[in-house]
Structure 1
Amino acid sequence: MRPRALIPLSPGPRPGRDPAWVVVPAGGRGVRMGSKKQGLPVFGRPILRWTLDVLEATPQVAGVVVAVPPEDVVSWRRRLRGCRKLRAVVAGGTERQESVARGLAAVPASVGWIAVHDGVRPCITPRLVASVLEAARAHDAAIAALPVAETLKRGLGGWVKDTLDRDGIWTVQTPQAFRADLLREAHRRAAAEGVLATDEASLVERLGVPVRLVPGLPGNVKITRPDDLPLARTLLRMRERRG
């Protein structure tokens, strides 16, 4: 049995099965990369465009909102011309959470389901996006994730302090999908209480809402460092060859 929400919510009628919108935070400054990751070219296309191409190919997605650095809004509107599902390019914030919140503000109130996907995770597939959305429709909240396969150690001062039990531990990816009212309320409360989280599921969990785990992809790499690029290039080349 699923646990009940710990707080009273008045979400109204359950949303139907209309296609979802996706908010894509892509406002990073690329400190670890040396340049803004979302604009790095891979086979002639910026990473962000590769990501949007997958969302374009996902029938369950009806609209996309992208949040980019404020100074890049005009240039990205130009670079993303031709993306049929792109509905808005908005100015992101200083933190990822703020960028997502600004993206949410551009999603119509009538939209019942919203997913969030990192702009620098271009190696997703339409099938994964659809699976996460389907799980969200069944359970209100769902995220892509993988069970940890490596041994986990806690370190202190360059030495192993102890070994952690990896049983039941998952590494979290995106996309993450939610009932729109839950996601909006989670962001509203976090902003009011000064809470900063690294993903949307953490904010929704604070509402007492259980989040469903959906098996992600080992190749769903988030490009944050230079050594992430070779793997991404290989995976994207394979996608191109498969057509």
Structure 2
Amino acid sequence: MKTSVVIVCAGNSTRMGGVNKILLPLGDRKVIGVTMQAFQACESVAEIIIVARENDIPAIKAEAEAAGITKLADCAVGGATRQESVINGIKKISKETGLVAVHDGARPLVKPEHIEKVIKDASVFGGATLGVPVKDTIKTVDGGLITDTPPRSSLYITQTPQIFKRNLYFEGIDFALEHGLDFTDDCQLVEAIGGKVAMTVGDYTNIKITTPEDIDIAEVLLRQR
């Protein structure tokens, strides 16, 4: 089943002090280059669509060429919200696509073997996301006071990619648009229409680069591979 990957990197990088994190150096490449290389290495991935700020697209295309990315099919300009950005990318995917994968451009350390695992689970269940069990005890808080302690065994940190069968995901998008809903997580689109989403366990190195110290951590993790 053909898989199209939409890599979203259209944010404002406010927690990076305005510095565009996807164009920061990481190892021998830029962050977005390392991210694209992970999907380039997956046999199940047929094409990559990048969603970014318009003025970043030339630099991303140049990085793709320098990184040897042959699966980059197109680029789209981001919207006002993450959901809008993803939809702009979805409009660019091939008509032959059977599975749609959405990934954060700022998660460059995702492993190809984990991507393939999520693709396999999505093809079985209809949807799947990469994630890991939480390590800490989680509390729910209201007004500064603890109200509950959910059992840790049932809590997972959700990562990306999040992958869905095309028709199921499109149904979720239609539902969200019809009801004026704007989700920050693609699984929510499918959950909202009662679809099943499998949790595919990955590992804790699939970090999202959000703050300046994250790029230093990513450098260390990359060197350890």
Match of 1:104 in 2: 90
With 100-109 and 161-170 compared, the bigger mean Cα shift is at: 161-170
The code of the aligned residue for 1:53 comes to: Q
> Contact 1:143/1:175 (CA < 8 Å) preserved in 2?
yes
With 148-157 and 61-70 compared, the bigger mean Cα shift is at: 148-157
1:137 aligns with 2:120: no
CA distances 1:146-195 after superposition (whole Å, capped 9, x unpaired): 12221112345655454333231111111111101111221222122211
1:23 aligns with 2:18: no
Aligned with residue 41 of structure 1, among 22, 25, 28:
25
Match of 1:54 in 2: 38
1:19 Cα deviation (Å)?
Answer: 3.2
CA distances 1:56-78 after superposition (whole Å, capped 9, x unpaired): 11111110000001222233223
SS in 2 for 1:201: helix
Aligned with residue 183 of structure 2, among 194, 197, 202:
197
1:77 aligns with 2:77: no
The runs of at least 4 aligned residues of structure 1 exceeding 6 Å deviation read: none
1:237 Cα deviation (Å)?
Answer: 1.6
Match of 1:121 in 2: 107
Aligned with residue 229 of structure 1, among 199, 215, 219:
215
The code of the aligned residue for 1:72 comes to: D
Identity of aligned residues (%): 34
**CA distance in 2 between partners of 1:28 and 1:211 (Å):** 26
Unpaired runs of 5+ residues, structure 2, are none
**CA distance in 2 between partners of 1:40 and 1:155 (Å):** 36
SS in 2 for 1:129: helix
Q: What root-mean-square deviation, in Å, do the aligned CA atoms of Structure 1 and Structure 2 show?
A: 1.6
1:171 aligns with 2:171: no
1:143 Cα deviation (Å)?
Answer: 0.8
1:231 Cα deviation (Å)?
Answer: 1.7
**CA distance in 2 between partners of 1:107 and 1:212 (Å):** 23
> Contact 1:28/1:37 (CA < 8 Å) preserved in 2?
no
TM-score of the pair, normalised by structure 1: 0.86
SS in 2 for 1:214: strand
**CA distance in 1 between partners of 2:22 and 2:80 (Å):** 15
Unpaired runs of 5+ residues, structure 1, are 1-17
Match of 1:207 in 2: 193
CA distances 1:71-95 after superposition (whole Å, capped 9, x unpaired): 2223322332241010011111121
